[in-house]
């Protein structure tokens, strides 16, 4: 007689885990969309169109011509308008405003999409004790991302005509971490919790995942400096395999974050190294049950590299730039999925 309640309890726990996994997968999908829209906001140079941070009242866009004019007047006070967009019409301003408003609205939507179900799952006692700290941590990371986003925007409101590439890289990096943590948690809920990387293949998969993350951050520096709009040839840069001027800045470390040539060059070199590492990993895993995952990850990295080359050769058209950013998130998700399959 005592077996049936135990079975029912196990079934309920499994159903709860699946429900939470579906919820977190939906939040991860929203974060993915958020990253792509953030890229579009960057590519359309819309990120500085809203010069105030109003977490609650800012959810409502201008509802009258008077309100639109007020927002436009605020924008006309910053260097981007005065040095680049001087003479912009109100209708042109509305276009860039809607991109930034949409990006911020998605951030608020993600917060609600996480918080409301989280409270419901917690109140109805559907969250396992071991999972609760992770969910709280994810919520805190989401709040930090909102603050970091405004900190990034602030860098372009006084002395610069665009945001700091350092703050942009931090903003994209944290978004990528949140996305990856959500994907990993979903896989834990569906396939069992994993946290040990004991054998060589698992350690190599972990290194690949970290490399993909690093390459994504390096791409943020390319975007932040608009370095993709110059040196639009491949495989040579500035007519050479090793172009002159790579280390012309002083101190030396500035070159890796502020020198347009060096920043694009290191992103290219990292892509080649990543392809080589992924191919080697696939070769090492070819006779194991990890071969399919390693092969799929390698193909994803190759496709992303090809898309990056295409984007540079065509001088970063908006659709290709957005697709390249989306591709980075897809490859990162693939690297996490592959790592999770190998972990214990």
Q: How far apart are CA 341 and CA 143, in angstroms?
A: 30
Lowest mean pLDDT among 6-10, 247-251, 270-274, 327-331: 6-10
Lowest mean pLDDT among 128-137, 189-198, 214-223: 189-198
Are 263 and 221 in contact, with CB atoms under 8 Å apart? Answer: yes
pLDDT above 90 (res 273): yes
pTM, rounded to two decimals = 0.94
Whether the ω angle into residue 242 lies within 30 degrees of 0, i.e. cis, is no
pLDDT above 60 (res 204): yes
Q: Identify which has the larger pLDDT, 240 or 56.
A: 240
Token pair for 67:
């309100």
Write out pLDDT tens, residues 91-107: 999 999 999 999 999 99
Residue 220's CB is within 10 A of a number of other CB atoms, namely 25
CA distances from 330 to 237, 267, 303, 334, 335 (A): 27, 18, 11, 6, 9
Mean pLDDT of the chain: 94
* pLDDT at residue 1, as a whole number: 47
Q: How far apart are CA 342 and CA 344, in angstroms?
A: 7
DSSP string, 37-69: HHHHHHHTT-TTS--S--TTGGGSPP-SHHHHH
List of residues 6+ apart from 78 with CB closer than 8 A? 48, 51, 156, 157, 158
Q: How far apart are CA 80 and CA 305, in angstroms?
A: 32
Mean pLDDT, to the nearest integer, of 232-249? 94
Kindly state the percentage of the chain with pLDDT values over 70.
98
């Amino acid at each position: 007689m005592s077996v049936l309640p135990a079975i029912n309890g196990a079934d309920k726990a499994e159903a709860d885990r699946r429900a939470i996994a579906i919820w977190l997968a939906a939040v991860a999908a929203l974060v993915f969309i958020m990253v792509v829209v953030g890229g579009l906001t960057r590519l359309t140079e819309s990120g500085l169109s809203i010069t105030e941070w109003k977490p609650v009242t800012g959810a409502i866009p201008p509802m009258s011509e008077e309100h639109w004019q007020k927002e436009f007047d605020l924008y006309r006070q910053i260097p981007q308008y005065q040095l680049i967009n001087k003479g912009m019409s109100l209708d042109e301003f509305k276009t860039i405003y809607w991109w930034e408003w949409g990006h911020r609205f998605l951030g608020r939507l993600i917060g609600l999409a996480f918080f409301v179900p989280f409270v419901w799952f917690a109140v109805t006692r559907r969250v396992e004790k071991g999972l609760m700290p992770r969910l709280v941590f994810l919520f805190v990371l989401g709040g930090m991302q909102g603050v970091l986003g405004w900190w990034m925007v602030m860098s372009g409101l006084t002395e610069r005509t665009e945001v700091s590439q350092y703050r942009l890289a931090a903003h994209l990096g944290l978004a990528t971490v949140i996305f990856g943590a959500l994907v990993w948690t979903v896989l834990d809920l569906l396939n069992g919790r994993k946290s040990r990387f004991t054998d060589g293949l698992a350690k190599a998969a972990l290194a690949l995942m970290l490399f993909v993350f690093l390459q994504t951050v390096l791409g943020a520096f390319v975007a932040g400096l608009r370095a993709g709009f110059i040196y639009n040839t491949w495989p040579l840069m500035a007519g050479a395999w090793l172009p002159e001027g790579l280390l012309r800045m002083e101190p030396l470390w500035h070159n890796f974050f502020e020198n347009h040539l060096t920043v694009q060059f290191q992103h290219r070199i990292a892509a080649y190294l990543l392809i080589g590492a992924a191919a080697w990993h696939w070769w090492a895993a070819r006779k194991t049950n990890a071969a399919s995952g390693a092969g799929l990850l390698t193909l994803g990295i190759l496709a992303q590299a090809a898309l990056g080359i295409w984007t540079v050769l065509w001088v970063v058209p908006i659709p290709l730039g957005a697709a390249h950013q989306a591709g980075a998130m897809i490859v990162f998700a693939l690297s996490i999925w592959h790592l999770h399959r190998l972990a214990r």
